[in-house]
Chain A
Amino acid sequence: MSGAARIRLLGVAKRHGGVTALKDIDLDIAAGEFFALLGPSGSGKTTTLRILAGLESADEGRVLLDELDITDAEPGARDVAMVFQSYALYPHMSVHENIAFPLRMVSTPADEIERAVLQAAEKVRIGHLLGRRPGQLSGGQQQRCALARAIVRKPRLFLLDEPLSNLDAKLRLETRVELKKLHRSLDVTTLYVTHDQEEAMTIADRLAVFMEGRIEQVGTPEEVFAQPKSLDVAAFLGSPPMNFLPAKLVGRVARAAGQTIDLARDYGPERDAVLGIRPGAIRLEASGIPAQVYLVEQLGENAIVDLHVGETLVRVRVDRRVRVREGDTVHLAFSTEDLHVFDAATRQRL
Chain B
Amino acid sequence: MRGSSLAAGERRFALALFLPAFLVLVLATTFPLVYLVWNSFLKMDLTMPWVSGFAGGDHYARMAADARFWHSLQLTAIYTGATVALQVLVGLGLALLVMQIPKGQGALRVGAILPIVLAPVVVGLFWRTLVLAPDFGVADFVTRSLGLGSHNWLGDPQLALASVIAIHTWQWTPFAFLVILASLSALPPDIYEAARIDRASAWQRFRHITLPLIRPAIVVVVILRMMTALSAFAAIFAATGGGPGTATEILNLYAYRMSFVELNIGYGAALAVVLLVLTMATAGLLFSLRTKA
Contact = CB atoms under 8 A, between A and B. Distances in A.
- In the complex, are there CB atoms of A and B closer than 8 Å? yes
A198 interface: no
* Residue among B3, B4, B5 having the largest count of chain A Cβ atoms under 10 Å: B3
A58 B3 CA distance: 5
Contacts of A51: 3
B1 interface: yes
**Is chain B's interface secondary structure helix, strand, loop, or mixed overall?**
helix
A59 B6 contact: no
Interface in A62-119: 62, 71-74
Interface in B120-168: none
Contacts of A72: 3-6
Contacts of B20: none
A286 to B, nearest CB: 55
Contacts of B9: 74
A222 B195 CA distance: 54
B7 interface: yes
A62 B3 CA distance: 9
Contacts of A73: 6
Chain A interface size, as a band, is 10 to 19
B12 to A, nearest CB: 12
B6 A62 contact: no
Nearest to A62: B1
A57 B6 contact: yes
* Residue among A58, A62, A72, A74 having the largest count of chain B Cβ atoms under 10 Å: A72
A74 B6 CA distance: 6
A316 to B, nearest CB: 42
A54 interface: yes
Contacts of A59: 2-3
A57 B6 CA distance: 7
A54 B1 contact: no
Nearest to B4: A57
Nearest to B2: A59
Contacts of B2: 57-60
A209 B243 CA distance: 78
Nearest to A63: B3
Interface string A242-281: 0000000000000000000000000000000000000000
A73 B4 CA distance: 10
A57 B7 contact: yes
Contacts of A58: 2-3
A9 B4 CA distance: 17
Nearest to B7: A57
Contacts of A62: 1
B50 to A, nearest CB: 62
Interface in A20-51: 51
Contacts of A54: 6
B250 to A, nearest CB: 47
A68 to B, nearest CB: 14
A60 B4 CA distance: 10
Nearest to A59: B2
A62 B1 CA distance: 7
Interface string B1-21: 111111101000000000000
Contacts of B3: 51, 57-59, 71-72
A54 B5 CA distance: 11
A62 B6 CA distance: 13
6 contacts: A57-B6, A58-B2, A60-B1, A61-B1, A71-B1, A72-B4
Interface of A: 51, 54, 57-62, 71-74
